[in-house]
């Protein structure tokens, strides 16, 4: 099997035979949280690692050029210099994984970042993915022309509900062909997929169709990333890797807003996929408010107390 292969044939027999034991999934994630605890300097190290995996995101209806400018400055300097100095860490070392914005704001982010960080654009009719196919495909091309280094595509969740795996496969493959060498992250919208079995099947189809990452959610659904749906997706990544030799990335997004919660996701990825996945090439965390809580925890580790609101910049 060639490791540089992009597309794999749609294997309906494999897809239709996927089953998920929900009780076992819940038992696994519950015991994980109870058994694993990271404290003191080890916690600080894991939180610094988490920062480098964040796709720092703004996806609001009131996004402006000024808001994107502030986001980019925070992405380049995510932790206050006095905290880094106390931790004896060079301020140039810690940056987020990427900045994630709507596709019409890509050029503004590019002007601010000047190539220092990747830019991810949400595309293909985000968040519902129900625009016309030609419009969605054009968004991919336009975002790349504007300077996006990565494209977060939205799948048509209706294809999953209808078990129309051929249409889902063809759609994702078409978006990957349009993106060419640009990395694409396929957003499943797990909260809309009804069952964990559908989450597993959709994960597999997207990987077969050339997705470089599979992503839990847009952040706009009623259910976003949690340990249960993430475990199902990670197991499919592992199974696909065993079959193909190809490493697919994972991006949990939506609802990960505290340092405690992000540590749980990192531990889950570490235990399910191993240390190879704990880098920005294979793991991203879609978040907007997470960074400020990580900074608060690092301040506490550095100075022995929590910062008052005036001590930290708003993330």
Distance CA 293, CA 296 (A): 5
Q: Which residues pair with 153 in a beta bridge?
A: 186
Q: 69 catalytic, yes or no?
A: no
| Other beta carbons less than 10 A from residue 40's beta carbon | 8
- Catalytic residue check, 215: yes
Task: Say if residues 58 and 68 touch (Cβ distance below 8 Å).
Answer: yes
Catalytic (active site) residue 310: no
Token readout for 119 is 């830019």
Query: Which one is catalytic: 55, 185, 215, 293?
Result: 215
- Kindly state the helix (H) or strand (E) to which residue 40 belongs, with its residue range: helix 40-51
Q: Cβ–Cβ contacts within 10 Å for residue 147, how many? A: 16
Residue position matching structure tokens 């995101």 = 57
DSSP structure class, residue 274: -
Q: How far apart are CA 122 and CA 223, in angstroms?
A: 19
Strand partners, 12: none
Residues near 283 by Cβ (< 8 Å), separated by ≥ 6?
Answer: 53, 249, 250, 251, 269, 277
Q: Which of 95, 185, 201, 251 is catalytic?
A: 251
Catalytic residue of the set 152, 192, 212, 293: 152
User: What whole-number distance in Å separates Cα of residue 148 and Cα of residue 181?
Assistant: 12
Contact 223, 242 (CB under 8 A): no
The neighbour count for residue 49, using CB atoms within 10 Å, is 16
**Residues carrying an active site annotation:** 152, 215, 251
């Amino acid at each position: 099997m060639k490791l540089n292969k992009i597309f794999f044939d749609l294997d309906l027999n494999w897809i239709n035979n996927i089953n998920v034991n929900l009780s076992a999934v819940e038992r696994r994630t519950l015991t994980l949280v109870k058994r694993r605890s990271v404290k003191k300097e080890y916690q600080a190290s894991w939180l610094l690692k988490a920062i480098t995996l964040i796709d720092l995101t703004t996806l609001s209806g009131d996004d402006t050029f000024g808001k994107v400018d502030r986001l980019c400055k925070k992405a380049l300097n995510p932790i206050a210099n006095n905290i880094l100095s106390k931790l004896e860490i060079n301020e140039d070392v810690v940056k987020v994984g990427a900045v994630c914005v709507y596709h019409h704001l890509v050029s503004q982010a590019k002007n601010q970042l000047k190539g220092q960080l990747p830019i991810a654009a949400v595309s293909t009719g985000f968040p519902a993915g129900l625009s016309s196919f030609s419009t969605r495909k054009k968004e991919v091309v336009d975002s790349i022309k504007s300077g996006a280094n990565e494209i977060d595509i939205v799948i048509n969740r209706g294809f999953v509900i209808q078990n129309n795996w051929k249409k889902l496969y063809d759609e994702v493959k078409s978006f990957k062909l349009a993106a060419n060498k640009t990395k694409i992250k396929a957003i499943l919208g797990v909260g809309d997929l009804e069952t964990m079995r559908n989450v597993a099947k959709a994960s597999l189809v997207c990987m077969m169709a050339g997705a470089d990452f599979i992503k839990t959610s847009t952040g706009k659904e009623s259910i976003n990333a949690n340990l249960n749906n993430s475990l199902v997706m990670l197991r499919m990544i592992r199974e696909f890797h065993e079959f193909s030799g190809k490493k697919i990335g994972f991006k949990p997004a939506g609802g990960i807003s505290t340092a405690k919660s992000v540590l749980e996701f990192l531990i889950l990825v570490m235990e399910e996929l191993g240390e190879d996945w704990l880098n920005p090439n294979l793991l991203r965390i879609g978040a907007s408010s997470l960074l400020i809580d990580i900074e608060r925890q690092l301040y506490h580790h550095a100075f022995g107390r929590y910062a008052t609101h005036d001590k930290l910049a708003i993330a």
